[in-house]
Amino acid sequence: MCGRKTLTKNIADIIDEMNIECWEASDYKPNYNIAPTQHSTVLIQKKNKTTAKLMRWGLVPKWSKKPANTYKIFNARIETILEKPAFKSSMQKNRCVVLADGYYEWDQNTSQPYYLYHPKNQIIPMAGLWTKWNQTNSKSLFCYTVITAKPIEKISHIHNRMPAILSKNNIKNWLGYKNTNISNLLTKIQNHKPKLEFYPVSKLVNSINNNSSNCTKPMKLRKTINIFSNN
C-alpha cells in the first residue's frame, strides 16, 4: 500500500524535472509527511497541457451522495481497478500522476518504518486517479487515489504492495485520454521495475504532526541478540 509520502522539492525544480506547463498548485509547500486527507500535488492533463494541481488524498466517487468523509479510498489495486464502479469513470478520463520524491512503508512484521526513494533523488511519479466531487452547498472537492501494485523483489520483504510507479515514457500516455488502450497501459505499468533505494527511519513519521526533514533521516537498527543461543 501507500499511506505516507513526501514532496520536498521547490516549485522551480518540480516544474523543470516533470516538464510541467501550467502550475495551479498555488498553496504548495514542501511536505515531509503527506498523509491521507491532506492536500498534495498531482499532475493532470488540462486543455492539452500538463498541469499541476493540489488535490485531497482520498478519492470520493463522482456519483456519491454521501459525505466526503464516508469514503476513504486512498489506494486502488491495479489488478482489480477495471472491475470497481468507483474507478470506472476516472479510468477513462480522470487519470493523474501523483508527485512524490519518496514514500514511507512499514515492515509488516516489525512495524519498523522505512523511507523509499529514487537512487538519484528524482521525483517518483505514481499512477493515480482523480475526481471532482460536488459537495452540497459547498465548493467542489478535487480528490485522488494512488494506484498500488505488487512490489519489486528488492523491497518485497518490507511490504507486499507498492505504489504503481510510471516510467518517464509512460507519463504522457497515462495523462492522455485519446486512443489509449487502458489494458495495455496497465500491463506496461505492472511490468515496469522502478529503481528504488530504502533505509529505516525513526517512528517520528508515525504521527502526522511531525513534518520536518527529521522524518526522512536514516537510522541504525539495533541488532537483536538471541540469549538462548547454544553458541
- The DSSP bridge pattern shows strands 39-46 and 124-134 to be unpaired
Contact present, 47 and 74 (Cβ < 8 Å) = no
Q: How many residues does the chain have?
A: 231
Q: Which of 22, 24, 79, 105 is catalytic?
A: 105
Q: Could you tell me the CA-to-CA distances from 22 to 106, 145, 185, 195, 217 in Å, in that order?
A: 35, 22, 25, 28, 32
What is the rounded distance in angstroms from the CA atom of residue 87 to the CA atom of residue 80? 10
The full DSSP string for 170-215 is HHHHHH--TT--HHHHHHHHHH-----EEEEB-GGGGSTT--SGGG
17 is an active site residue: no
Distance from C-alpha of 188 to C-alpha of 166, rounded to nearest angstrom:
9
Assess contact for 53 and 28: CB atoms under 8 A.
Answer: no
Catalytic (active site) residue 96: no
Contact predicate 161/1, CB 8 Å: yes
Measured CA to CA in angstroms, residue 112 lies from 152, 158, 200 at distances of 19, 9, 7
Q: Could you tell me the three cell numbers for 102?
A: 519518496
Of residues 2, 96, 143, 215, which has the active-site annotation?
2
- Active-site positions read 2, 105
